[in-house]
Structure 1
Amino acid sequence: MGWPFIGESLDYFSKLQQGLAYKFLTERWKKYSSSTFMTSLIGEPMVLFCNAEGNKLLFSNEQKLVQVWWPSSLSKIFPKSDDKPSNEHSLTVHKLLRLILKNDGLREYVGIMDAIMKEHLQTYKKCKEVNVGDISKRYLLSLSSNIFIGMNDPGKIDTLAKLLKEIENGIFSIPINFPGTPLNRAIKASRLMIKDLNITTRQRRNDFLKHGSSSRKDFMSILLLAKDHNGQYFCDGDINSHLAGLLLASYTTLQSTIFSIMNYLAELPEVYDSVLREQEAIADGKEPNDTITWEDLRKMKYSWNVVREALRISTPGFGSFREAITDFSYEGYVIQRGLKIHWTSDSTHKNPKYFHDPEKFDPSRFEGDGPAPYTFAPFGGGPRMCPGNEYARVAILTFLHNMVIHFRWEKLNPYEKIIHYPSPRPAQGLPILLNPHNP
C-alpha cells in the first residue's frame, strides 16, 4: 500500500510522466501473480482491474455494482452549489450532453467544423514553419466555444488554453491545496475561467427572461433551460462549473490525439499516402469552398483506423475511477462496498496478449471485426461511455482531412521529447515544416 496517505501515488504518477504506466502494472502483476491487485493512490485504498474481463465487469455494471467516482480534487476545481456527490452531477450532465452530441445533432455541426478549420488554414497557408499545438489549439477551442458556449472570441483563446493547461495538471495531482501546488494552481485557473463564463451565462439568462426560449442549440442554452431530477433549474455557478469541465475535456484529450496523429503521419510516409488517397477520393469533385458532409466522414474508414491506432498507443486519458456500491466478487476477491476501483487503458492497449507487438503503429488492427471486445477503450464503454466519442471522431477527422488534402509535413525536431502526463504531448508543441501540395 506504500506510504501513509501518499500510498504509491509518487511511483505511479512518476511512471505516467515517463510513459511507463504499463511497467508499473506489470511489476505488480508479477509480484502478486494476478492482474487484479490493491494499492493506495491519491489518498484512497484502490483496487486495479487490469484486463478485458475487468473492463467488461465495470462497463456493464454501472449503477448495479459500481458508480463513477472522482478524486476530491475535482470538486475543489469544479465546485458545485450543493453537497450532492460528484457522481450525481456527472450523471445529469452525461444525459444532457447526449442531447447535443448525438448523431442527429452532430450532423448539423459537420459543416461548421469544416468551415472553421478551412478558415484557420488560411492563416497558415503562407507559412513554412508552424506549430501543431497552435493550429490545433485555435481549431479545437473555436469548436468547443461555438458548440458548448455559442460564442467565438479569437482574442480569448490563448488565455483559455493557459487556464485549461493549469487545470489539467491539477486534476489528478496529490490532493494537497497549498500555494504553488498543482491543485492550488488548478483551483485558481478554474475560478478565473468560471468568472469569465459567468458574464456570458448571466447575459444569456437575461435574454431568455426577456424573449423566452431561444433557437440556440449550444450546450449553455440546454443547461439554462434544463432541470435536475428534483425539477429545479441549475444555478449559474453550477452551469459555469460544468461548462469549464466540458471545455477541458473537449480540448486537452483531442489536442493530444491530434499531436499523435500528426507525429505518426510525419514518421510513416506509407500511412500518410494511404490517408491521402482516401481523402483525395472524398475531395474529388468538390469545389474549394465546399464543406465535407456526414456521409463523407463515414467514408473515412482507413483514416479512422489511423486515429484509433494513435488513440491506442498514446491514449489521452490514462483511465478512470469507479466506486463499489455493493459487495461483489471478482477473480476470487471480495470487493467491498465503498472501495475505489481504477481501470487503466494501458493495461489492455499495451498488453501483447491483446495487441501483438503493441508498440508498433499498425492501423490494420482495426480492419474487419477489429480488436476483441473491451480491449480497446479510449472512451470507456457501456452505459458510461464518453458521450463525446462521436464529437471527437468528427472533430479529429475534419482536422485530418483538411491538413492532408493541403499539405505534407516533416518534423523540425525529430528528437522532440514527449511529455506523457497529464496527456501525451510533444514538449515544444510539434513544430513542423509545411509542404503544400501542387494545385
Structure 2
Amino acid sequence: MDALLSCLLLLVILAASLFLVSRAKKHNTGSGSSKLPPGTTGWPLVGESMKFVMLGPEKYISGRMKDCSPDVFRTSLLGETMAVFCGPAGDKFLFSNDNKLATSWLPLSIKKALVFPDFVDNSVKDIAALKRNFMHEILKPDALRHYIPIMDSMARQHIEADWSPRKEIKVLPLSKKYTFDLACRLFLNIEDPEDIKRLSDPFSRVISGLFSVPVAAYSGAIKGGKMVRDELLSIIRRRAKQLSENKDMVATDLLSRMLLAVDQENDKLMNEMEISNNVIGLLVASYSCTASPYLSREQMEIAKAKGPGELLNWEDIEKMKYSWDVVREALRLTPPAQGSFREAKTDFTYAGFTIPKGWKVSGD
C-alpha cells in the first residue's frame, strides 16, 4: 500500500512538472506579432535562481547576453518571470520610463527580510517615503552645502583610522564601511562607532543572505533584518523623546524630519514602523551602490589651496568639473541598478522585443 501511494505521489509530481514546463513554453512563444525576449525560465518553480547565485550576477548576466541577446533577455528569478535589460542603454531606458511603463517592485523574499511583517503585502510605493515632500527638501542645494564639510571630515577620520595604519587595503569593503557610516550620520545623526556597529553587523547578514541559495544564509538574513528593525525602533524612540522634550531642536537629519513630518494624504504623523522601513531602504541603497574611489589632479590642486584642517565646501565641489565627468561616465558604464526591480504596468517594446504587462524587469 505504501509503495502504491509513493508511486502515485511521484506520478502527480511528474504530471505537475510537465504541466508547468508546457505552460511556460507556451507562454514563452508569445502570440500574434508579439516577440518575447529570448531566454529560458529554467526549472519549474525554482527557475534560474540557483544558477544566478552560483555563477554570480556578473558572470550569469554576461553569459545570458552572449547566448540570448545583448539588449534584453528573459529568465525566471525569485519565482517570477523577469526581463533583464542589459548595458547602459537598457538601464537608461528603465530609468527614463520609471513610473510610466514600469513601477517599483520588490520580491516577497526580500520584503520579508527587510520590512516589518505588517507591511510585507504592501506595494513599494506604499512603503517608500521618497514620495514625500520633505525628501526633496533634504536634497536641495542648501541642504547639500551643509553635508559637504561633514562628508569631508568623516572621510579624513575614516582614512586615518582604517586606511593609513595598513600596508595593504581592500578598497571595496572599506568604501562600503565609509558610505554606511556616512549614511548613519546624515540619515540618523548617529556618530558613535558602537551604535553604528549594532546596525552594520546584522545589516551585513541581511545583504549577504538575500540572494543566497542555502536556507541557513537566508535564515540569517531574516534574523539580521529583525535585529536591524529592533535597533532602529530603539533609535527612533530615543529621538522622538528628544524632540518632544526639546521643542527648539533643529531637525537637520532625515530621521528627525520623518518624526515631525505629516503624511499629506492621511494628515497624520508617520508611525515608527513606517519610518524604520524607509530608513532601511535608504541604508540598503547606501550599502549596495558604493562607487569606486579615485583621485584626480584637480582634487590635488584644491587640496593644496586649503589651509591646515580646512574642510571642503560647496564652492570646492563646483570646481571638480573633470571629476564630475568621470563620475557620470562611471555611472553610465556601470549604473547602480543591479537588484533594482520593477513591474511592467503595460505591454511595451524594447529593442524589437515585447515586455508583457505584469512581467518583472530589472537592470543588469
Structure 2: stretches of 5+ with no match in the other structure: 1-40
Are 1:86 and 2:121 an aligned pair? Answer: no
Are 1:115 and 2:150 an aligned pair? Answer: no
The residue number in structure 2 matching 1:356 is none
Structure 2: distance between partners of 1:57 and 1:307: 20
In the TM superposition, what is the alpha-carbon distance from 1:151 to its structure 2 partner? 1.8
Match of 1:104 among 142, 155, 166: 142
TM-score with structure 1 setting the length: 0.64
Structure 2: distance between partners of 1:301 and 1:316: 21
* Cα offsets for 1:164-193 (capped at 9, x unmatched): 22111233446x8x5x1x322112111111
Are 1:301 and 2:308 an aligned pair? Answer: no
The answer (yes or no) to whether the contact 1:15–1:24 under 8 Å persists in 2 is: no
Are 1:318 and 2:338 an aligned pair? Answer: yes
The residue number in structure 1 matching 2:250 is 215
In the TM superposition, what is the alpha-carbon distance from 1:94 to its structure 2 partner? 7.0
The answer (yes or no) to whether the contact 1:78–1:242 under 8 Å persists in 2 is: no
TM-align CA RMSD: 3.0
The residue number in structure 2 matching 1:237 is 273
Structure 2: distance between partners of 1:45 and 1:138: 34
The answer (yes or no) to whether the contact 2:104–2:341 under 8 Å persists in 1 is: yes
SS in 2 for 1:341: strand
Structure 2: distance between partners of 1:213 and 1:184: 44
CA distance 1:166–1:241, shift in 2 (3 Å): same
Match of 2:50 among 10, 21, 27: 10
Are 1:187 and 2:222 an aligned pair? Answer: yes
Structure with the greater alpha carbon radius of gyration: 2
Structure 1: stretches of 5+ with no match in the other structure: 263-271, 345-439
Structure 1: distance between partners of 2:245 and 2:139: 28
* Cα offsets for 1:220-247 (capped at 9, x unmatched): 0111122333223221122122222322
CA distance 1:75–1:128, shift in 2 (3 Å): closer
Structure 2: distance between partners of 1:64 and 1:220: 30
The number of residue pairs the alignment matches comes to 320
Which range moves more in the overlay, 90-99 or 318-327?
90-99
The residue number in structure 1 matching 2:65 is 25
TM-score with structure 2 setting the length: 0.76
Are 1:338 and 2:358 an aligned pair? Answer: yes
For 1:55-204, list aligned pairs within 5 A: 55-80=91-116, 81-82=118-119, 83-90=121-128, 92=130, 96-123=134-161, 127=165, 129=167, 131-132=169-170, 135-136=174-175, 139-173=178-212, 178=215, 180=216, 182-204=217-239
The residue number in structure 2 matching 1:354 is none
CA distance 1:92–1:307, shift in 2 (3 Å): closer
CA distance 1:280–1:48, shift in 2 (3 Å): closer
CA distance 1:145–1:55, shift in 2 (3 Å): closer
CA distance 1:62–1:285, shift in 2 (3 Å): closer
Are 1:283 and 2:303 an aligned pair? Answer: yes
